[in-house]
């Protein structure tokens, strides 16, 4: 009888450990990215910056090489390929960009633009500007 109880206890302990592992792993699973269409109309306000030239041609999170002359951007969680209208709130100038990277990784910033995209809406000497971003596609 004691050996039978030990087997049951061992089995119960293994089951509990397995359940704990499943619970812990499920907490680590990220939410699947939403489709681009589900985000159309989404608006965010915050700060935008631009990539330093040293990142030219380095691989972005989407696998594309960074091209400072293209109108692309890094966003923390919008799907790659999402088209955004980025508006400088101070002067009203806008640019359309495509999300192809992750970032920015500095608190308070909501988007990193390529140098040419930033220059289209602000003086690059500013470095950081207030923007409104709208998902258009």
Q: Two tokens at 4?
A: 């039978």
Domain regions of the chain by residue span? 1-30, 36-135
* pLDDT score recorded for residue 9: 59
- Can you tell me the distance from the alpha carbon of 82 to that of 39, in angstroms, rounded to the nearest whole number? 9
User: Average pLDDT per run of 10 along the chain, which is 137 residues long?
Assistant: 56 50 38 64 96 95 97 97 98 98 96 98 98 97
The pLDDT value recorded for residue 24 is 38
Q: Which residues contact 78 (CB under 8 A, 6 or more apart)?
A: 39, 84, 99, 135
CATH topology of domain 36-135: Barwin-like endoglucanases (2.40.40)
pTM for the predicted model, two decimal places: 0.73
């Amino acid at each position: 009888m004691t050996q039978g109880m030990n087997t049951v206890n061992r089995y119960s302990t293994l089951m509990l450990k397995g359940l704990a592992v499943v619970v812990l792993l499920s907490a680590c699973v990220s939410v699947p990215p939403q489709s681009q269409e589900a985000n159309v109309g989404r608006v965010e306000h915050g700060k935008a910056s631009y990539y330093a030239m040293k990142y030219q041609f380095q691989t972005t999170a989407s696998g594309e090489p960074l091209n400072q002359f293209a109108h692309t951007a890094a966003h923390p969680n919008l799907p790659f390929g999402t088209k955004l209208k980025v508006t400088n709130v101070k002067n009203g100038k806008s640019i359309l960009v495509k999300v192809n990277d992750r970032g920015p990784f500095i608190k308070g910033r909501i988007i990193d633009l390529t140098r040419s995209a930033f220059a289209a809406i602000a003086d690059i000497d500013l470095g950081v500007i207030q923007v409104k971003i709208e998902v258009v596609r």
